[in-house]
Every structure is written in structure tokens, then in C-alpha cells.
Amino acid sequence: MTYRDLALKARTGAGWCAALLGFAIPVSTAFDGTLVVMLVFAWIIALPVSFREWGRTCLQVRPALVALLLFCALSIACLYSPASWKGAWSSLSKYLDLALIAVFAWAAATRTVRRRALYAYLAAVALSLLVSYGTVIGLWERLPGLYTKAEYPIGFRLSVTHNLLVSLGAFASLLIARELRRERPAAAAVMLALALACIFNVLFIVIGRTGYVVLAALLVYFSCTIARSRRTALVAVLVMTTLFASAYLGSQYFGDRMQDIASDLTQWKPGEKDETSVGQRIGYHRTTLEIIREHPLSGVGTGGFSQAFADKVRGTPARATTNPHNDYLMIAAQAGLPALALLIALYVVIWREAPRLASTLERDLVRGLLLTIAIGGLFNTLLMDHVEGLLFAWATGLLFACRDDRPREV
């Protein structure tokens, strides 16, 4: 066997790893971590043979290039962080997925890999729904590795992550149903049923306000893709209004969580200790903005946020935190406004480059992914979280692997 033969086998193995990640990311941290290591190892083996192709991918997939620049900015910020080298590296490693987008794109160069990955993801979402609904009706006993409490009916991930994954699953299923409705109506009906099961699960079964907001944004965007006339647009608006009104009136979780927002806002007072979810986030955001104002260009260094925040609230009733629950503020606080500009540029590039993808399905999928991460990042540090950060890098790489340089209609 020649080295080229070995490199080709490694490339094939990388493709399988990329596809299986679609199933692993929503289900198992150990499984997806193992697959990422195997994929990177296969890339290293194949690199001497496919270096030119991978380099071309880095240059052509603009989101990968911008993401790599953002990771470099965070890496440089480690040099002046007040945290120990271990602490700085620990914080930087949470963003490591950003540097792997081009590797994921290289691994998913074929249409077959991308199709397997998409359906593997939907299979994992369906399995999560099975566990969630099964818990509600008492089908499952307490199984190892599953969150099977009746009052907290989720499967493999905590509520915020679960709702984001399932919301994105609903959106992907609706897009596939849209594509199949004429040629394969039976398959389209299956996808529509999965989408409805996902939507019901997010709104009526599992708590998580971030999921509610993201699902609403995804449904609005999907409505825009099918609204070819004022009539269909009006129907879409009526359906969404009815759906969320039904959730507010018919779901105790949804109604209570919405009412809690108003209650938390009325209780919040600047500078005082606040135990409410919304009040704490407002306090975190205000203090983080003060940190950014004091270090606008350089930030406090990657890994230095915890110490900077603790210093800021020392002697006040406010609670210290290691996480401001906002991607934009976290990156700006650690690496300055230039890094924040790179993050925003990354999102803008993804949106603007989406029409160059090979089909409307990939275009709308990548924009749905962007809406999920960009909106969810307003309320959580999703890029630092293992599942959401890996999902973003993996899906961006796979979807932009089918980039077409011919201009397409937006």
C-alpha cells in the first residue's frame, strides 16, 4: 500500500466521522469527542497528499477564514491574561472548534457525506424526542445517562441545549418537506410530522426561553422562504400567532416562563443582589459592559473574565460570575472590540455567502444555523459551550463544503 492509498482511506474515514457527528453531537459528548479526534487524526494523515486542496478550502470558505482569525485574536489575548497558563488555555480551548471549520469542510467534500450527516442529525433529534415524550408518559425508568425526571422531560442534553437542537431539527425537517412535497409527498409528510413533533416538544414539553425565541425566529424565516404572495404570508402569520398563543394559554411551562420575565424585570434594581434569572443576566451584562468600557481594544485577556468581574463587583451586593451569558460580551471582554468585530463579521459573511451554496436547501439551512447561534448567543455563551460550539463549526463546515462560486439569487 502506498502513502497515497493510506491518505485516501484516511479521507474516507474522515467523511464517515463527519457524517456520524450529526448523530453524536445531540446525543453524547464522549462519542462526538472521539469522532472529532479521529477526524483530525485522519486529516493529519491525509494532509501531505491533500494539502493543496485543504489550503484552497481555507481560502474559498470565507467563514472558515474569518473564524480562524477570531480564534487567533483570542489566542493572542492569552498572552496578557491575568489567568494562569492553564486557565487561559482552558478558556481558549472552548473556542477551538472555530479553527476546525475548514477541516470539517474538507471532510465533507462529497454530497453523500453531507446527506448522511443531515439525516444522522435528524435521527438523533428523533431519538431525543422519543426519550422526552417517553418520559412524559412514564415509559422510561431512570436510565443511565438520560435526564428522565417527569418534571424535566428531556433526553441527552439539558433544557437550553435540547431546545436549540430540537428547534433546529424542526427547521431542517420543514426545509426537507418543502423540497420533497412534489416528487415524494409521503416522505415530505414524514418530515412534516417530525417538524410538528419538534415544535410541540419545545413549546409544550421542555422549559427554555432561549429555545422559544430561536424557534420563533426560525419559523419566521421559514415562512419568508415559502411566502410567494400576500395570501401565503398572511396564512403563515396566522398559523404562527395561533401556535404561540396556544402555547401561552395551553402550556404551563411556556406561560409561566413568559410571565417570569415581566416579574423579574419589575424586581430588578441596579447594583443590588438579584436571584432571578432575568435580573442576574441584566446585572451580568451591565458589569461586563463596564469591563469592556475600561479595556475596549485589548480586553482583559482570554481566561481573565472571572477575575475582572470579581474585582468589579467586590464590595457590592452583586453576585460574581464566570460567565456573562452573552457570546458577544464575553468575546469583547476577553479580547476587545476588534475580536467582537470579527465575530460579527463571521456572522455577516455566513449570511452573505449563503446564496453561493449549491442549493436553496443548504442556503436556508446555514442561515437557520446562523439564526440559532447568533440569537441564542444573546442569552448564552453558546460558542463556549461544547455542544453548541461544535454544532456551529461542524454544520458550517459541512454546508460550506458545497459552496458554488456562481452567483445566485438571495
Label residues 157-171 b or e (16+ Cβ within 10 Å = b): bebbbbbbbbbbbbb
Judge whether 120 and 27 are in contact, CB under 8 Å: no
CA distance linking residue 163 with residue 206, whole number of Å: 7
Judge whether 209 and 261 are in contact, CB under 8 Å: yes
Residue 363, all three cell numbers: 442556503
In order along its 410 residues, the chain shows pLDDT tens digits of 787 888 888 889 999 999 999 999 999 999 999 999 999 999 999 888 777 776 777 777 899 999 999 999 999 999 999 998 888 999 999 999 999 999 999 898 888 999 999 999 999 999 999 989 888 877 766 566 555 666 677 878 888 999 999 999 999 999 999 999 888 999 999 999 999 999 999 988 888 889 889 999 999 899 888 876 666 667 777 777 777 777 766 666 666 666 656 555 566 556 556 566 666 778 888 899 999 999 999 999 999 999 999 988 888 777 888 899 999 999 999 999 999 999 999 999 999 999 988 889 999 999 999 999 999 999 999 999 999 999 999 999 999 987 643 333 33
CA distances from 40 to 29, 97, 238, 291 (A): 16, 11, 47, 37
In this predicted structure, what is the pLDDT of residue 271?
Answer: 57
In this predicted structure, what is the pLDDT of residue 354?
Answer: 92
In this predicted structure, what is the pLDDT of residue 233?
Answer: 65
Residue 19, all three cell numbers: 457524517
CA distance linking residue 234 with residue 212, whole number of Å: 21
CA distance linking residue 398 with residue 402, whole number of Å: 7
Judge whether 240 and 220 are in contact, CB under 8 Å: yes
Burial class (CB in 10 A: 0-12, 13-18, 19+), 277: middle
- 3-state SS class at 153: strand
38-41-47 Cα angle (round to 5):
140
CA distance linking residue 100 with residue 390, whole number of Å: 9
Any alpha helices (H) in 108-229, and if so which ranges?
111-136, 159-180, 185-200, 209-226
Any alpha helices (H) in 251-354, and if so which ranges?
252-267, 277-294, 305-313, 327-353
Cell 474522515 maps to which residue?
14
